[in-house]
Structure 1
Amino acid sequence: MSREKKNHILLSNLPEYNTNSLSSHTLPIWQLRLQTITDSPFQWRLRSNSTTHPATETSKGKGYSYSYSGRKRQCFVWERERERESMWRVAYSFPEEVLEHVFSFIECDKDRGSISLVCKSWYEIERWCRKRVFVGNCYAVTPAMVIKRFPKVRSITIKGKPHFADFNLVPEGWGAYVCPWIKAMAVAYPCLQEIRLKRMVITDDSLELIAKSFKNFRVLVLSSCEGFTTDGLAAIAAHCRNLRELDLRESEVDDICGHWLSHFPDSYTSLVSLNISCLGNEVNLSALERLVSRCPNLQTLRLNRAVPLDKLANLLRVAPQLVELGTGAYTTEMRPEVFSNLAAAFSGCKQLKKLSGFWDVLPSYLPAVYPICSQLVSLNLSYATIQSPDLIKLVSQCESLQKLWVLDYIEDAGLEVLAASCKDLRELRVFPSDPFGLEPNVALTEQGLVSVSEGCPKLQSVLYFCRQMSNAALNTIARNRPNMTRFRLCIIEPQSPDYLTLQPLDAGFGAIVEHCKDLRRLSLSGLLTDRVFESIGTYGKKLEMLSLAFAGDSDLGLHHVLSGCDNLRKLEIRDCPFGDKALLANAAKLETMRSLWMSSCLVSFGACKLLGQKLPRLNVEVIDERGPPDSRPESSPVEKLYVYRTISGPRMDMPGYVWRMEDDSALRIS
């Protein structure tokens, strides 16, 4: 009998062994293989009634028994090397066209990066077939490096300024200019179709270059960007004949005139998404209506505040296929014909799923949207000054709602109705209507969030502004929603304690990180000591982004975070008593992170110099508008510190108030 036949018979006689039941730490991806060893007079046959031990001789007495027969010994062993060899054979056995097709189904950038590390062949294939690129920091890599690495890109996303720029903590003129990227891509990527930018400075010249360089350009998303005017948008409208998406969300646009929409050619019909909600001035309503009416595939239309309510019905009638709508000003003189036209127009939008806008709401017009409330999955009322009774009437009819952004006018009563009505809610954001007021103007407390955590089992993401919180409430929220992945609590008054016990909120936030095992993003506020950071370091193993303000006692708090949070990528700190010791002791951790921002802390100029010397692969930038930091003692704290990983070296566009700490501890002054 052949050896292969004998091995087959032996394997078929081992029904007790079930590899699927082995625990993950004893059975990794490497499989058990049959190995024939000819130098033994025995044949070993393995039987198993255990599911926790690998097939080794030392497992005797733990559920494995051995039988002996024949002259050859055959046993199960772990063969990692053979599995590797098999993997290499598989890697080289498929034609490149097949692998390219397989790779096209893998969308995650991290997974694509892992694929490129398998072997040189896969690296080259992945390099040439990569169509989408994400650049998390425009200074982490140069345009030339990206172009060399990925020559056939069709879509690129680039982020610029740090996140704290949203809170006016990054000085004017800091950088994040997209012009070098656009110039390089205009030459290297003539087939580029999509550009998405966030917190970047883009000029009209760059917009015109985009419009004239990429012949099949389809998507332009400018999120929280600045530096351009409606003249640049007119160039996009005039030249990008295949444009599908134009999104200006939260951008600062110099609104020179509202006639830029008329630059879209009369033959242009490809628009799918248009977001002009950030524009301040009036738009050409006739041009807007013509544009909307001739684009049959338009699904998203988000208008600005200047579009009057009496014009909304006309737009809805010519675009009943809309899936997402952002209204303009939702107020006008109350006229029955306006209301009836609006209600009829909303009733005709059978596909409408997302609703936003509602500036300057006149409550008597709200019932016009009631017919489509049951089909809504997203409702953004973050600019709508709707009071609690009217919000309750609206929200109670949105039983399919998955995302709600709202001002604190909703109050605890409204959140209780939300919890009772919207069982599919995944994301909740409650913004303050009067963040600088000394006294509360609404009845919103921790109880509203507790109610939502109890009533909405799918809740995963929370941003909540309030004026009081307790450890008991945070503990209840953590136990109710262990599936939380994003939790951002902003208590308006800094360093507010538990309002019931006057104790720090350490225990409450500790419960959040302990029970929410998949937490990825966390923002802390209130009175907090180093104890909470010990909990974060112990339990926040999946935490990727952490934002801190007015928290902690000493360097020990920062040490707990940097030494314990294995997956931390972005750390933002302001007004915390963290200084040199913890930062320098955990310097190596910074090389695994995307960025660290510290402002109004206790980090000295001398420590920043040492950090630049220890970590030459990082850009260590001191931002200080008081003048050169070396004009003060090295022990003096710096205003702001921004540390980020880069493979491109120092940037060349630093303003006069930014100093880079070189690896020779010398200052680079622009």
Structure 2
Amino acid sequence: MRGHDWINNSLPEEIILEIFRRLESKPSRDACSLVCKRWLSLERFSRTTLRIGASFSPDEFVSLLSRRFLHITSIHVDERLSVTLPSLSPSPIRKRGRNSSSPSSSKRKKLNAKTHSAAENVESCSLTDVGLTALANGFPRIENLSLIWCPNVSSAGLHSLAEKCTSLRSLDLQGCFVGDKGLAAVGKFCKQLEELNLRFCEGLTDIGVIDLVVGCAKSLKSIGVAASNKITDLSLEAVGSHCKLLEVLFLDSEYIHDKGLIAVAQGCNRLKDLKLQCVGVTDKAFGAVGDLCTSLERLALYSFQHFTDKGMRAIGKGCKKLKNLTLSDCYFVTCKGLEAIANGCKELTRIEINGCHNIGTYGVEAVGKSCPRLNELALLYCQRIGNSALQEIGKGCKSLEILQLVDCSGIGDNAMCSIAKGCRNLKKLHIRRCYEIGNKGIIAIGKHCKSLTELSLRFCDKVGDQALIAIGKGCSLQQLNVSGCNHISDAGISAIAKGCPQLTHLDISVLQNIGDMPLVELGEGCPMLKDVVLSHCHNITDSGLNHLVQKCTLLESCHMVYCPGITSVGVATVVSSCPHIKKVLIEKWKVSERTTRRAGSVITYLCMDL
């Protein structure tokens, strides 16, 4: 009956709270909180996570949040997020009565004065020790805290936080200039700390790290250090001596050497995840890792100058549980080293090889022969890998779902045909600048890989309409990127529009042979489209864009720079027809004043005024 509130009168608070907990997206929760004051109160009561960007009064903002949200356990402060200044332009003049100096105009003057003052002092946007103390007072039960690039937070604030938030389990101080005393306080009071990130914390030395490690020795499981030139092997020796539960270690430092990593290997036999960019570490340290870290599952090595096949053999011999391997710019690792890993680590599910110029066809062939559980393979800037490598992958790795190829000039259609026939569960295929891959290989993918949902063929000059026609017939794509494939024309995109109704992301930039007709068919056939990139398409006009946006009402992002056929009328059509639009990338001179007033917050300009 009209006038009766059946929901609020029938549902107890416990049921409504449970409904809020089951809502996964923040927009859904926000929408429900607007139903009534009761729901707003319950939504605040049920919320456990806050994400805070830069603001003009961060300390006061934290105090305000603590009064509204009472059960927060996770807070993420990231001051890399830009501050949006209120508009400084004068408000439109409105006709009033006899008194032109109304109270509202007075308030506007004060607001503009405050805005100018804030714009002159951008440093006030940083959280300080006062705000950190307020955070500690307002959220004493917090378990997860991230302070990303908060330069005005010091040891004093961190000490205050640690003293009151003793339940802290995860602490991320990336880019914060905290000192040893603050870190020592965390070790003294936060005995349940499990995860610690100290990337780019330049104010720390071994003294602070050792104090924390000793204090949190019984709980610490994850440590990350990067670009901290005063953290040396002494800290890692303390980790190895005290942190017996350590499972994750991320190191990016020129000041870490074999001694520190060996200490960790000797003391932390539960280590599962090791990510290193340490030019001072050699094969000697990896010999210890291979002998002692038998639980290792993920290994990522970046820019090693003293890591060779000897270290790879040690890993392959001892780390039988290894599942994820990344080798980036490891110039002295060869096919023999990769073969040693493949033969010894039969559980491998993901391999990424990036810029390792001494790894060629033979090494990847060994992976195909020995790693039947491989699920993801990425070969980036590998000029010495040829077709027979992927032919072996196709024969032996039937579970492959993700394949990424970038600048692999030796891989062509024969390799792709082998992948298509052997890896029929393939879901994601990303190829960039592999100039020997053409229609034949992609047609085979469309014929055999019916589960394919993501296809990216950027700047593959030999791929044309026939390939996309086969994809449209055989695969129900959700994402397609054919940027720079100059042989693709209207027929290929039209085939995708007709065969892939679930398409949500499309990039057809730098296609000179695309006109308005494919946009019309995309509008008819792909109503779920959310992101579209049309930049550098010289034959697309306002007419085609109008047909697209009239039917694709879920569109959130549209890039259309350097399209001479698109004018201010087309831009206005996009922002007026798409209620969910969040970003429009366009040249500034194509945006009218009316469009700016209506949707200035969603428009991003290619070039700004100098």
Question: In the alignment, which residue of structure 2 is the partner of 1:455?
Answer: 370
Q: 1:343 aligns with which of 262, 270, 274?
A: 262
Partner of 2:555: 618
1:402 to 323, 326, 348: 323
Structure 2 gap ranges (5+)? 1-9, 36-42, 84-124, 417-434, 602-610
CA distance in 2, matches of 1:539, 1:154: 44
Q: Contact (CA 8 Å) 1:659, 1:667: kept in 2 or not?
A: no
TM-score normalised by structure 2 residue count: 0.65
Q: Which residue of 2 aligns with 1:582?
A: 518
CA offset at residue 378 of structure 1?
0.8
Q: Summarize deviations over 1:355-396 as a string: whole Å, max 9, x none.
A: 112421331443332333422111111354454424422432
Deviations 1:484-519 (A, max 9, x none): 2222221267x9866999853443345456555545
Aligned to 1:393: 313
Q: 1:368 aligns with which of 277, 288, 293?
A: 288
Q: Which whole-Å CA distance do the structure 2 matches of 1:613 and 1:178 have between them?
A: 36
Matches within 5 A, 1:228-267: 228-231=149-152, 238-239=160-161, 241=165, 242-247=167-172, 253=175, 256=177, 258=179, 261=183, 264=186, 266-267=188-189
The offset of 1:320, in angstroms, is: 1.8
Of the three residues 559, 567, 588, the one matched with 2:494 is: 559
The residue type paired with residue 355 of structure 1 is: L
3-state SS of 2:135 partner = helix
* Aligned equivalent of 2:400: 484
Alignment-derived partner of residue 443 in structure 1: 358
Q: Which has the higher contact order (CA 8 A, sep 6+)?
A: 1
Residue pair 2:377, 2:403 contacting (<8 A) in 1 also: yes
In 1, Cα distance between the equivalents of 2:592 and 2:169? 44
8 Å contact 2:272–2:297 — kept in the other structure? yes
Deviations 1:562-611 (A, max 9, x none): 44345444445654455543233212566424533455455746244554
Instruction: Tell me which protein shows more helix as a share of its residues.
Output: 2
Contact 1:619 1:661 in 2 (8 A): no
Question: Are residue 419 (structure 1) and residue 342 (structure 2) matched?
Answer: yes
Is the CA contact 1:392–1:417 (under 8 Å) kept in the aligned structure 2?
yes
The 3 A distance-change label for structure 1 pair 503 and 287 is: closer
Q: Check whether the contact 1:195–1:219 (CA below 8 A) recurs between aligned residues.
A: yes
Q: Is the 8 A contact 1:275 1:302 kept in 2?
A: yes
Matching of residue 133 in structure 1 with residue 24 in structure 2? yes
Q: Using the TM superposition, give the Cα deviation of residue 546 of structure 1 relative to its aligned residue in structure 2, in angstroms.
A: 4.5
The alignment covers a number of residue pairs equal to: 498
Q: Which secondary structure state, in structure 2, belongs to the residue aligned with residue 419 of structure 1?
A: helix
Match of 1:49 in 2: none
Q: Does 2:43 align with 1:145?
A: no
Q: Which has the larger radius of gyration?
A: 1
Equivalent in the alignment of 1:309: 233
User: Which residue does the alignment assign to 2:421?
Assistant: none
The whole-number CA distance in structure 2 between the counterparts of 1:537 and 1:199 is: 44
**Map 1:484-523 → 2, pairs under 5 A:** 484-491=400-407, 503-512=436-445, 515-519=448-452, 521-523=454-456
User: 2:413 touches 2:438 (CA, 8 Å); kept in 1?
Assistant: yes
Contact 2:378 2:403 in 1 (8 A): yes
Query: CA contact under 8 A between 1:470 and 1:508: conserved in structure 2?
Result: no
Counterparts of 2:292 and 2:243, CA distance in 1: 15
> Letter of the aligned partner of 1:480 in structure 2?
G
Tell me which moved more, 360-369 or 576-585.
Answer: 576-585
Corresponding letter in the other structure for 1:413? K
Q: Give the unaligned 5+ runs of structure 1.
A: 1-94, 101-123, 136-140, 159-175, 434-441
Tell me if 1:293 matches 2:214: yes
| Secondary structure of 2:188's aligned partner | coil
Query: Structure 1 residue 463: deviation in Å?
Result: 2.2
Aligned partner of 1:106 in structure 2 is: none
Conservation of the 8 A alpha-carbon contact between 1:659 and 1:668: no
Structure 1 residues 313, 417: CA separation in 2 closer, same or farther (over 3 Å shift)? same
For normalisation by structure 1, the TM-score amounts to 0.60
Matched, 1:193 2:73: yes
